[in-house]
Structure formats: C-alpha cells, structure tokens
Amino acid sequence: MVGLMKSRYEAFEATTRAEIEAAQRLRHLAFKGVDGLDADAFDEICTHILVKDRKSGDLVCCFRFLPLNSGNEIAQSYSAQYYELSALQNFQGTMVEMGRFCIHPDVQDPDILRVAWAAMTAYVDNNNVELLFGCSSFKGTDAKEYFDAFAMLRDRHIAPKRWLPRVKAPKVFQFAARQRRKPDLKQAQLRMPPLLRTYLMMGGWVSDHAVVDEQMNTLHVFTGLEIKAIPPARKRLLRAMSA
C-alpha cells in the first residue's frame, strides 16, 4: 500500500472505480487536451497511484504500476506493444512497469513530481523491485522540436546492449542511428520531459529510437532503471522523502 503526504500533496492508491475514472479523466486531459476518458485493458490489472492537492481536493497527478515477477513476463507489459523486448526476458529480478504518468496541464509545482517519486520509491521498496521501466513521453509527434534532447540521449543514455529494445512499432524515429548533431545541453535539458530527466539523473537508460504514437500524440522512448544502479546518495534522498 502506498500512502504519503508531503507539502500540500498526498499520494495514495486508488481503491474505488470513481478514483480510477478520475485518473482516466486526468490522463485524457493531459495527453489529448480535452475532456474524456483515457482507458484501456491494462487499467484492470494495474495498481493506480493518485496525487491530490490536500487543500483543494483536486487530482493533480496519476500513474499506474504493472508488477512482473521477472523478464519472462515482459511480453505482458504495455511497452511490449511498441518495443521488441526479448533481451529483457533474461532479467531475473522483480520488475514493475510504470505507465500513463501525467500531471495536470494547468498545475506547475515541482513538489508534485517529488511526491510522485516518493510514492514510486515506497512501492519499489515494499515490493523488492529490481527494475522500473516504462515509456517516457515527449508531447507531440514532431521530432524536430526535440533534436537536442534526442542527441543527448544518443550520446549519454542508450541502454546497455544486453537489455537494448529493438524496433517493433511501424513508425519510429531512430535518433541514435540518424542524428549526427552535437547537442546544445541547455536546450536538451529544457526540452527533456521532467519524468525522463529524473530517470536519467538516477542512472536510467533509454531505447535507441522513439516511437511515434499518433493516438496518444506523443513521441516516447522505452526507459529502464535498475534499482541497484541508483547512486547511494540519491537512494537515501528518495527514501527520506517516502518515509
């Protein structure tokens, strides 16, 4: 069970249909910019984490977890629809896919992301997770807006060969193979999604290509984080936040 309060925000596990539908409404607004419900078959088998503003009661962030016992179950993940993940079948430890992460588009407060990561840390620790993975999304499908960010990913953050996802989706941007530009690091950081930026700060890695997902209006990269690779100082900070 995940439940914690930091600053003005509270993270908790959804336990009712109404709470899951609230998350689906926030996802639709965040990804598509209009009211509606973003729902799929994975919602029924996932644990949903919500972050709300304790003063207003408004839902400001949500995401979901899909636990897997080992890499043998990787084909059951949402990500496996878009990436060829056979390399990760050899991963022996417990895995969790974190998906549909979003923050309300009208709310800008770095404490929201901090509370979300504290909730993720609590879940990882409570379930002895050894690999956290998912799809990290760039808003929109025009890769040109993110050339510096992709160039930095190419130079610094491509997955180890033993885990590297291969192309499966029909439409991808193969930034590692096609880009030759030297990244402007300031622009790269500015254009990097906050969730992905945090993954990378902790030692995360990405696929060598981005999937063009026109249905969700995103470009996304497969992202993995081996828990043992997180720097000790950052682990202590995350655990202090989740205490």
Name all domains of the chain by residue range, CATH numbers in brackets: 3-242 (3.40.630.30)
Mean pLDDT computed over 143-151: 96
pLDDT in tens, 219-235: 999 999 999 988 888 87
Per the CB < 8 A criterion, the answer to whether 172 and 212 are in contact is: yes
pLDDT band at 218 (very low <50, low <70, confident <90, very high): very high
